[in-house]
Amino acid sequence: MNYIAREKKKPEGLSETDRQFKEKIKGKTPAQAYRFFKRHQSVYQYNTAETKEVFARMNHKRCSFCTKWISEFNTEMTIEHIETKSSCPRKIFQWDNLLCSCRTCNTKRGRKEYKADAYLDPSSIKDIERYFCFHTDGTISVSKALSQAEADKAKYMIRLYRLDRDELNAERREFFNSLLDDELFEILKRRSRDAQDIHYLSVFTYYKRRTENGK
């Protein structure tokens, strides 16, 4: 996971939908509000062309969790709700509760509940990379430099989105195997943030630091 600078200006259409929806569910219980959303989700939408455009720019077309580049962004990008729709329907259209996700990460989480004391929001934690450790075999683990409370959060996020799944491990391993010399590192540093493989720069930087320190 990498830090994502959330755009402070909320998408106008989303903000208006949020206002209208909250007006409609005023006085309803969370269960009633969620049922109302389910019945009217063709009217009240969050994954619109506007939000796709904002997330494409904000995330550089990458998943907020596994950081993979989403090749067919307009059709394959999904909206992940930090606090789930069923548990907190009042936040279904709230901008700071939404993140961009690939279909796989979204599916791996499913309807698992949000734990406020464990969730690591990549749009609010600038040094989120320090929570995780990458290995040359492609696997990911919790950084040993963390406190127990921080380690528990990192474990929670790895489990929640299955960041240790085989396909990701294989891709990271292939990337490490391609590191024959420092030339690729210099190429990556010069690339724009929306390049497909730019998310590996932080992984490579970590790997390079480890090898230079003889670890």
Q: How large is the greatest C-alpha to C-alpha distance in the chain, in angstroms? A: 62
Structural contact between residues 112 and 119, judged by C-beta atoms closer than 8 angstroms: no
Q: What is the model's pLDDT at position 144?
A: 92
C-alpha torsion 78→81→82→86, nearest 10: -150
For 17, the token pair is 């939908």
Q: What is the model's pLDDT at position 171?
A: 87
H helix or E strand, kind and range, residue 24: helix 12-24
Secondary structure class of 57 (helix, strand, coil): helix
* 103-129 pLDDT, tens digit each: 999 999 998 989 999 999 999 999 999
Secondary structure class of 65 (helix, strand, coil): coil
Residues near 208 by beta carbon (within 8 Å), at least 6 away in sequence = 182, 185
Whole-angstrom distance between the N-terminal and C-terminal Cα of the chain?
A: 22
> Number of C-alpha atoms within 13 angstroms, CB side, residue 146?
19
Q: What is the model's pLDDT at position 179?
A: 61
Residue spans of the chain under pLDDT 70: 178-215
Q: What is the model's pLDDT at position 181?
A: 53
Q: Where are the beta strands (DSSP E) in the chain?
A: 78-81, 98-101, 132-134, 140-142
Tokens 């208006």 found at = 16
Residues near 29 by beta carbon (within 8 Å), at least 6 away in sequence = none
In DSSP notation, 158-200 reads HHHHTTT-HHHHHHHHHHHHT--STHHHHHHHHS-TTSTTTTH
Q: What is the model's pLDDT at position 172?
A: 84
Per-domain residue ranges of the chain? 12-212
